Amino acid sequence: MSGSLRAGSSNSAVLDAARLLAPSGVVVAPYTGLRALPAFDPDLDTPDGTALPPEVRRFRDQVGRADAVLISSPEYAHGIAGALKNALDWLVGSTEFSGRVVALLSTSTRAVHAPAQLIEVVTTMNAWLVPEACVTVPLHGRALDGPAIAAGPKPRGPGPHRDRRTRSSGRSDGRTRRRLNTTRMRPENSGTGPEPECRSRSQC
Ligand SMILES: Cc1cc2nc3c(=O)[nH]c(=O)nc-3n(C[C@H](O)[C@H](O)[C@H](O)COP(=O)(O)O)c2cc1C
């Protein structure tokens, strides 16, 4: 899911690069319905689902069919893109998102508020956030498409989503659920210094 509706979106491009770099057997399917989702209305989100708008039904179905959700969002006015937050709000009352494996991508090391908010939102929604899969590909205004990003230099070092302290809790099924402690953010990736490096492009 890209949080940007812009035709030349860098967030959509980095998700397209993830699609191109996905290993054999992994299909990265873009969600293209963000613009069509109505504004979240709890009155339409009834337990029997009869009032649910069809676009929301289709969105939930696509999330429900996915093994994992990749999200990349621009930061607007120190916040998550509104269209993406609206989409996530539609998933709060659903059965499809809770427990879903989630990775957050980013195209800017300057944006620290939206990544922190995304972490807070998806962990509140009971996602299994995978810090090792959260990668920043610093594009900073460069208009690269998915193939160009995929063919470009290998990102190195952690992105802003990875610079959070994590706390873990054991799960009865043997897996470990990781939640990120957003109260311990270290926004050292912000500012005008040299860009930090992503650890591995393959982690996209
Ligand atoms: C209205 C507006 C507000 C923005 N606010 C911020 C901001 O607060 N912090 C930031 O780092 N970038 C901000 N930006 C820059 C965008 O996050 C950046 O251009 C991003 O790459 C856009 O994503 P896209 O290429 O996927 O459309 C803002 C851009 C716009 C248009």
Per-residue model confidence (pLDDT) at position 134 = 93
Torsion of CA 56, 62, 63, 65, to 10 degrees: 140
In a domain, 3, yes or no: no
CATH number at residue 51: 3.40.50.360
22: how many CB neighbours lie within 10 A of its CB?
15
Q: Does ligand 1 have an atom closer than 6 angstroms to the CB of 73? A: no
The identity of residue 48, as a single letter, is: D
* DSSP structural state of residue 25: T
In a domain, 1, yes or no: no
The chain-wide mean pLDDT, for the chain, equals 81
Residue 149 and residue 13 in contact, taking contact as beta carbons nearer than 8 Å: yes
Give 161's pLDDT tier (boundaries 50, 70, 90). Answer: low
Domain range for 53 is 10-203
Pairwise CA distance, residues 95 & 98, whole Å: 6
In a domain, 194, yes or no: yes
**Would you say residue 179 has pLDDT above 90?**
no
Q: Does ligand 1 have an atom closer than 6 angstroms to the CB of 4? A: yes
Q: How far is the CA of 142 from the centre of ligand 1 (A)?
A: 13
3-state SS of 78-147 is CEECHHHHHHHHHHHCCCCCCCCEEEEEECCCCCCHHHHHHHHHHHHCCCEECHHHCEECCCCCCCCCHH
Q: Coil, helix or strand for 40?
A: coil
Cα 78 off chain centre by: 16
The identity of residue 151, as a single letter, is: A
Per-residue model confidence (pLDDT) at position 35 = 98
- From 5, 11, 75, the mutation candidate for ligand 1 (largest count of ligand atoms within 8 A of CB) is 75
In a domain, 5, yes or no: no
Instruction: Note the pTM of the prediction, 2 decimals.
Output: 0.81
Q: Read off the pLDDT of residues 73-102 as tens digits, 9 standing for 90 and up.
A: 999 999 999 999 999 999 999 999 999 999
Number of domains in the chain: 1
Flag the least confident range among 41-55, 148-162, 171-185.
171-185
In a domain, 25, yes or no: yes
| Average pLDDT of the segment spanning 123-132 | 95
Sign of the four-CA dihedral 177, 68, 137, 193: negative
Tokens of 168: 């873990």
Q: How far is the CA of 193 from the centre of ligand 1 (A)?
A: 19
